[in-house]
A and B are shown apart, each in its own frame.
Chain A
Amino acid sequence: MVNPLYLFAASLAAAFLLPLVDKLGRRASLALVYLVGLAWLAAAVSWLLALVQGGVAQDFGTAGFMAPLAIVLRVGLLEAAGVLAVAAVGLLSAAAMHASLRQAPAGGAMAFLMLLMGLCGVILTRDLFNLFVFLEISAIATYSLIGFDDRRPALRSAFKYMLAGGIASALYLIGVIYVYRFGDTLNLDLAIRAPGLAGAAGNAALFFLLAALLVELKPFPANGWALDVYQTAHPGLAAMLSGASATALLLALWKLLPLFGTAHLVIIAGSGLATFLAGNLAGARQRYTRRMLGYSSVAQIGLAMAVLALGTLFKLGSELFLLAVAGGFVLNHLLAKTGLFLLSAAFEQAGLTDAAGVDGVDVVDTVDDAAGASAAAQPARRLSPLALAVAGGLVLALVGLPPFPGFWAKWQLVQALADRSRWWLIGLILGGSLVEAFYMLRWLGRLVAARGAAPVPTLRLGAGLLGPAVAAVALAGLGVLSGVFGLTGALDPKAGSTLASLAGEPWLWAPWAVAAVLFLLDWLPGWLKGLLALGAVAAFAWLVQDRLDGLRQIFAIMLLGGGGLFIVAALRKPGSRGGLHPLLAMVTLSLGAVLLAETRLGFFFAWETMTLSSWLLVRRGQASRQPALSYIVFGLGGAFLLMVGLAAGGFDSAGAWPSGALASWPFLLALVGILVKAGALGLHVWLPGAYAEADDESSGLLSASLSKAAVFGLFALVLSRGIPGSLSISLGAIGGPWLWRALGWVGLATALAGALYAVWQEDIKKTLAWSSMGQIGYIILAFALMDQAGWTASLYLAFNHFLYKSMLFLAVAGVIQRVGTRNMYEMGGLIKKMPVSFLTVLMAIIALSGVPPLTGFGGKWLLYSSLIAKGWYLEAAVAFFASGVAFLYLYRLIHSIFLGQPKLNQSGVREAPLALIAPQLLLMGVLMALSVFPKLLLDPILEITSRVFPPTLGFSGDALVSPLGYWNGTLTMIVTGGVFALCLLWLVINLRNSQGVRQFNIVFAGERPLRPETTHYAWRFFEPYRQAVGGLVRSRAERFWVLVGGGVSAVGGALRRLYTGNGQTYALHVVMYVVVLYLVMGVVL
């Protein structure tokens, strides 16, 4: 292996000669800087290669001596990786700072070289005092760099930084000298074995060492200075600090870790967790991009720190495991944060910063936020799709979504913590992550410019995008590698097998692969992309068909078939419709992946993929910023619960919930996690907004298909352990009946509330959204029955809901497209303009309301039969009431849109485009077929359910027979048809010379209305009903969640008040932090 000393010599020589080289021109000196960076990079790569191929860590002495006498450097796996990271980040940062470095005095380039070398030294050295020297080199180089391009705010923060850094240095020196005093060595490896350091005195000495290192790691609350630096310094430098510097310091901490005793570890863990939480809470209240990134950065480092200490404290796993998890977090953080800061640098370079040198969060899209004021003067611009993709990748990685490394690390960590029953830790970590996800995704959401308005010029980022793109690509690559080979697989293939991976489940990557390909082809015309997406879905379905058992087949029709329908529907508008097709395909395939997952990790991976892709789809909608945010926050919250449930389940070898444990809380958590996605009452607040504000075809996909994935989740959860291997359920193992009864009531409440809310909506899509929620409520209720009839009802209802909700959303999409509004009272009398859509809606509402002879009645019949047979009488009555309420909004829907008086301005409306009509016709056909022959659907369902439960339902001829009654769908259809024909005949015979009248030919109260088009009775249609029962639905859940959000935000607001901006206060925080830590250590000892 290359002796690292050569590199130090080269760096120093380069730096020392830089003043001379600079005489040749700044270009030459910068070339030298890049050259040195590349040298480090190359060396790190060569070390890594040597080590991975079986090499062992190697020590390099100085002055011809080894450990006790001289300073020793060590190159091991982690060191090599760390140097690689530092060098890579350094090169990217240098590139981002290139322009500034060229203009500033040569000292900037020198300091940059020093910083790079200092960080490498921090990583490589095994000597405690030498570590101090390198810490000082990097610190002083940083101080110099903060001011190098002469931003006034940066000067202020540099001073603050120096105060804190100076205090930390003093502490470190005190620590190191007493370590020498008691341990009689300065070498780390010898100190670890030194007996003198074991006692109380050694503890105190080590404490100062630790405290100094911790302060450098920017713990809460002693990190105000760091935040100011992140906010004000050149973003390239911020990237260096957040990415490279933090990595180096963490590696230093990792090196020192064996020195520390339990008390120290407790301090590290506690401080790290507190930083993680506080950083994220305060981060949620930030307006400025870089300050927010700073908070996030601080929090992430806190988490990595905590994981390192916790791993040792709780013996979470082998050292390799720990390194994999902590390393995963660090890698994730370092790449993502580097990329984001560099992106911010690119923004700045593109002129998005205002004159005061303060960058607004709302740089791209200033619509409705107070923070927009600072950026309001700037002309609106939007990001190019590529820039958006890069930003998206970075943020999603940071948040820990698949397929990025953070996702795998989080899974492993939660799994390990769950194995050791450290629930509160899981709660803290996931809670903090959720808050972080909230504000990072909010930021990302803001980058998406509102469409539809006047065309906005694209922001030119140019070469500035290169750095972020490299980071994003690296993240994605490492994430995929981690996923395929296990988390450590990317680092050390030998160890891959010890950690969970998706090695056996290649299908789960299909959504990502297809989305990537389609994104690359996004420049193609819309119809071609639509066909490609359709082809991808079809190919996927064809390829995986033999992996689907009966249950999955039914769901596959709903999920994949639904996806296909809506991809067709997306052809309704001409043009490229950028981003829509890839996302539709991705959501569809992720739904397929949910079906296919065989392991718990695979299931969760697919679940998160689904959440993520559907969020992107929602965000594509025009006014979806806020709804999309609550969608993803609730989605992630639910996913976290699911993850904990799956991790803590304690499954047996067959992968089933342990007996008796079903009622225990891991199962409950997983259940609640899935109920979030299903939109159960109380957890539904994301639902109406998300469904309403997504693109119209996307709403349909979400409501008709994606919600079925949640239903599938319910079945999968119970049918075994995460994931159904076979269709078997042991009722004995399924805990108390109270659980199912409670779940039933949850479903019932959802059904009732959904229906009631839907009644009073004016927005057509909101109506459908609430209706969707209500229908899912019935499905949950039937599912909770836990018998054959109930499950049959549940599956039947699910399939029907898929059918008619698809029809409704397709028809409504056409109406909205033609009419240009979503308010029902602004429509009317469209039956003549859009007869096919009307017919679709008519059939759909008949089916939805459960009126015979269409399929909907089958669902009602099954539901009530099974409820009454089970003895859930009160539930049956409430369900009856709820389904009555459904009539209200359904009538409202069809009346307000299609019937009544037309609006004058809608006289030119045409029928919906073929892309919408064709799927509607297809669905109508299916609906009719299933109505006439219910057996077509019921046979496969009964086949599934009777394998799980003792059968109580069965066919006798064409009649479905339950213990209580019977239903012959075919005969019903014949009788109804006959009677209807008879009546129609009478009418036809009777009709004579009827004369068509103009629509507005009406008279009431003895007069002709002056403006008859205003007599369309549609607005606040059910106002008396609200007077009567409005009290049932007073948005309690919304208010609860607003309260929760407000509370979190208030805590964050209170926390950030600590950061007064006064450098002296920050210094005070530092000293106070140290004193408090000392006291805590005293308590722990």
Chain B
Amino acid sequence: MITAILTRVGYALVSLFVITNYGLLLIGSMARISAKVQGRVGQPVWQPYLDIIKSTAKRNSISHGVMFYLGPVFRLAGGVGTYLFIPAVFGSALFRNFSDSGDLLLVMYFIFFGQLGMALGASEGGHPYSAIGVSRGLAQMTAFEVPFALSVIAVAIQYKTLDITAIVAAQQGGFLHWTVATNPVAVVAALIAFLGMSMHNPFSVVIAPQEIPIGPPTEYQSNLLGMLQTNRAIFNGAKLVLYMNLFFGGATSLPVMVIKTFLIYFINVFVGQAFPRLRVDQSIRFFLGAPTVIGVAGVIIALL
């Protein structure tokens, strides 16, 4: 019993370690690619490592209260937890994580765990920009969840289950069995939602990274920022893995996972480079428009 538990915890830690590093590298490489696209030299691929190390090494000198500290904890726990509830590699005991805690619904809702905690922590910072960022983020979130939920429903209809492992299992046997092939419409909806979810352009007004330090992390610095940066890698990875599992046939081995998630992420960044940023109300209306219709179409296709 004890050994079984210890084994699982150990596996989970390994899995976590892998996804963290992968996530960091992914971010780094994407930044580099973006720079190339824009004709800049860009940062080195390992820049995220440097950022985290630098941040963590700094002395934390500001305290706004308990909740302020707990914000990054919630955030990171949210990212880690989300990942741990998803089976990362199909059929692999090592990467099974704790996916027996619950099905797809658990994952979808656990995503909010970190966001909520972050929002709370940021609020205690008392900076109005944080609150503004949260208000924008939440508002946008309600909107992009609709196409995402519709595509998830389409998947559930198609495979008659919400168990992620079972969904992946049903997609085995070649490209034609992947959701992207059987129900491409739903996947389109899901991918559009992903743009909003990862707050990339054109839906990046929530954090507005370039002009001013705005958004939830406004007041965070040093080691707290380091935690957030770590989370960004894990959380990104978790979401990518989820998408891969739902729509792209999952992965039977680590390399397959790396390739697939990289490609999914690449699409994202690519789109982000091509479109200007939207205001919050615009993006809400956008998500509730075409993507929702596409999502409904996906559901209908799944029903047929």
Q: Determine whether A and B are in direct contact in the complex, meaning some CB atoms lie less than 8 angstroms apart.
A: yes
Contact A865-B227, Cβ < 8 Å, known A884-B141, A964-B103, A1002-B126: no
- Pair B65/A891 contact, Cβ less than 8 Å: no
For residue B154, which residue of chain A has the nearest CB? A873
Residues of A with C-beta under 8 A to B163 = 964-966
Minimal beta-carbon separation of A709 from chain B (angstroms): 30
Residues of B with C-beta under 8 A to A877 = 146, 149-150, 153, 295-296, 299
Residues of A with C-beta under 8 A to B288 = 1028-1029
Residues of B with C-beta under 8 A to A967 = 101-103, 105-106
Minimal beta-carbon separation of B280 from chain A (angstroms): 4
Q: Which of B109, B285, B299, B303 contacts A860 (CB 8 A)?
A: B109
- Pair A987/B227 contact, Cβ less than 8 Å: yes
For residue A984, which residue of chain B has the nearest CB? B73
In the assembled complex, the Cα of A1029 lies from the Cα of B113 at a distance in Å of 25
- Pair B126/A829 contact, Cβ less than 8 Å: yes
In the assembled complex, the Cα of A550 lies from the Cα of B70 at a distance in Å of 41
8 Å CB contacts to B: which residues of A963-979?
963-968, 971-972, 975-976, 978-979
B157 interface residue (CB < 8 Å to A): yes
B124 interface residue (CB < 8 Å to A): yes
Minimal beta-carbon separation of B153 from chain A (angstroms): 5
Residues of B with C-beta under 8 A to A842 = 120
A993 interface residue (CB < 8 Å to B): yes
- Pair A991/B223 contact, Cβ less than 8 Å: yes
Minimal beta-carbon separation of B133 from chain A (angstroms): 10
In the assembled complex, the Cα of A864 lies from the Cα of B153 at a distance in Å of 10
Residues of B with C-beta under 8 A to A852 = 102, 106, 109-110, 113
- Pair B157/A861 contact, Cβ less than 8 Å: no
In the assembled complex, the Cα of A626 lies from the Cα of B295 at a distance in Å of 44
Residues of B with C-beta under 8 A to A892 = 135
- Pair B101/A986 contact, Cβ less than 8 Å: no
8 Å CB contacts to B: which residues of A866-884?
868, 873-874, 876-877, 880-881, 884
Q: Which of A850, A972, A1029 contacts B284 (CB 8 A)?
A: A1029
Stretch at the interface among B24-32, B75-83, B173-181: B75-83
Residues of A with C-beta under 8 A to B81 = 975-976, 979-980
Contact A900-B100, Cβ < 8 Å, known A964-B160, A975-B85, A1028-B285: no
In the assembled complex, the Cα of A868 lies from the Cα of B226 at a distance in Å of 40
Stretch at the interface among B33-41, B55-63, B87-95, B248-256: B55-63
B129 interface residue (CB < 8 Å to A): yes
Q: Which of B63, B102, B113, B280 contacts A997 (CB 8 A)?
A: B63
Stretch at the interface among A334-342, A577-585, A725-733, A1017-1025: A1017-1025
- Pair B100/A968 contact, Cβ less than 8 Å: yes
A167 interface residue (CB < 8 Å to B): no
- Pair A874/B102 contact, Cβ less than 8 Å: no
For residue B205, which residue of chain A has the nearest CB? A1024
For residue A996, which residue of chain B has the nearest CB? B63
- Pair B65/A1024 contact, Cβ less than 8 Å: no
Contact A851-B110, Cβ < 8 Å, known A895-B119, A982-B80, A991-B69: yes
- Pair B67/A995 contact, Cβ less than 8 Å: no
Residues of B with C-beta under 8 A to A968 = 100-102
Size category of the B interface is 35 or more
- Pair B135/A1021 contact, Cβ less than 8 Å: yes
Minimal beta-carbon separation of B277 from chain A (angstroms): 14
In the assembled complex, the Cα of A873 lies from the Cα of B304 at a distance in Å of 13
Residues of A with C-beta under 8 A to B134 = 891, 895
8 Å CB contacts to A: which residues of B107-152?
109-110, 112-113, 116, 119-120, 123-129, 131-132, 134-136, 138-139, 141-143, 145-146, 149-150
Residues of A with C-beta under 8 A to B138 = 887-888, 891, 1022
- Pair A1024/B106 contact, Cβ less than 8 Å: no
B72 interface residue (CB < 8 Å to A): yes
In the assembled complex, the Cα of A372 lies from the Cα of B142 at a distance in Å of 48
- Pair A999/B64 contact, Cβ less than 8 Å: yes
Residues of A with C-beta under 8 A to B274 = none
Minimal beta-carbon separation of B132 from chain A (angstroms): 6
8 Å CB contacts to B: which residues of A808-853?
829, 831-832, 838, 842, 846, 849-852
A1004 interface residue (CB < 8 Å to B): yes
8 Å CB contacts to A: which residues of B219-258?
219, 223-224, 226-227
- Pair B106/A972 contact, Cβ less than 8 Å: yes
A1000 interface residue (CB < 8 Å to B): yes
A185 interface residue (CB < 8 Å to B): no
- Pair B299/A887 contact, Cβ less than 8 Å: no
Residues of A with C-beta under 8 A to B131 = 895, 900, 1017-1018, 1021
Contact A993-B61, Cβ < 8 Å, known A965-B104, A965-B162, A965-B163: yes
In the assembled complex, the Cα of A874 lies from the Cα of B300 at a distance in Å of 10
Residues of A with C-beta under 8 A to B127 = 1002, 1004, 1015
- Pair A1022/B60 contact, Cβ less than 8 Å: no
Output the residue of A877, A992, A1027 with the most chain B CB within 10 A: A877
A437 interface residue (CB < 8 Å to B): no
A389 interface residue (CB < 8 Å to B): no
Minimal beta-carbon separation of A972 from chain B (angstroms): 4
B182 interface residue (CB < 8 Å to A): no
B47 interface residue (CB < 8 Å to A): no
Minimal beta-carbon separation of A443 from chain B (angstroms): 45
B98 interface residue (CB < 8 Å to A): yes
A904 interface residue (CB < 8 Å to B): no
- Pair B104/A1028 contact, Cβ less than 8 Å: no
A990 interface residue (CB < 8 Å to B): yes
Contact A995-B63, Cβ < 8 Å, known A895-B119, A983-B77: yes
Minimal beta-carbon separation of A340 from chain B (angstroms): 53
Residues of B with C-beta under 8 A to A995 = 61-63
A793 interface residue (CB < 8 Å to B): no
- Pair B120/A857 contact, Cβ less than 8 Å: no
In the assembled complex, the Cα of A996 lies from the Cα of B62 at a distance in Å of 6
In the assembled complex, the Cα of A865 lies from the Cα of B136 at a distance in Å of 30
Residues of B with C-beta under 8 A to A986 = 76, 227
Minimal beta-carbon separation of A1029 from chain B (angstroms): 6
Minimal beta-carbon separation of A833 from chain B (angstroms): 12
B54 interface residue (CB < 8 Å to A): no
Output the residue of A849, A888, A978, A980 with the most chain B CB within 10 A: A980
- Pair B105/A1027 contact, Cβ less than 8 Å: no
Residues of B with C-beta under 8 A to A997 = 62-64
Residues of B with C-beta under 8 A to A903 = none
Instruction: Digitize B181-218: 1 where CB-to-A-CB distance is under 8 Å, 0 elsewhere.
Output: 00000000000000000000000000000001000001
- Pair B139/A1022 contact, Cβ less than 8 Å: yes
Residues of B with C-beta under 8 A to A1000 = 126
A1005 interface residue (CB < 8 Å to B): yes
Contact A850-B109, Cβ < 8 Å, known A966-B103, A979-B77, A1025-B281: yes
8 Å CB contacts to B: which residues of A561-591?
none
- Pair B299/A874 contact, Cβ less than 8 Å: yes
- Pair B146/A864 contact, Cβ less than 8 Å: no
Q: Which of B60, B77, B160 contacts A976 (CB 8 A)?
A: B77
Residues of A with C-beta under 8 A to B19 = none
In the assembled complex, the Cα of A100 lies from the Cα of B276 at a distance in Å of 87
21 A-B pairs within 8 Å (CB atoms) are namely A829-B126, A868-B162, A873-B153, A877-B295, A877-B296, A887-B116, A895-B120, A899-B124, A965-B102, A976-B110, A979-B80, A979-B81, A980-B74, A980-B81, A983-B73, A983-B80, A987-B223, A1002-B127, A1004-B218, A1024-B281, A1025-B135
Please name 20 further chain A to chain B contacts, defined as beta carbons within 8 Å, in addition to the given A994-B62, A995-B63, sorted by A numbering.
A829-B126, A842-B120, A852-B109, A884-B145, A895-B134, A899-B126, A900-B123, A901-B126, A964-B160, A967-B103, A972-B106, A976-B110, A982-B80, A991-B60, A991-B69, A993-B61, A995-B61, A1021-B131, A1028-B139, A1028-B281
Q: Point out residues on A near B: beta carbons under 8 Å.
A: 829, 831-832, 838, 842, 846, 849-852, 857, 860-861, 864-865, 868, 873-874, 876-877, 880-881, 884-885, 887-888, 891-892, 894-895, 899-901, 959, 963-968, 971-972, 975-976, 978-980, 982-984, 986-987, 990-997, 999-1002, 1004-1005, 1012, 1015-1018, 1021-1022, 1024-1025, 1027-1029
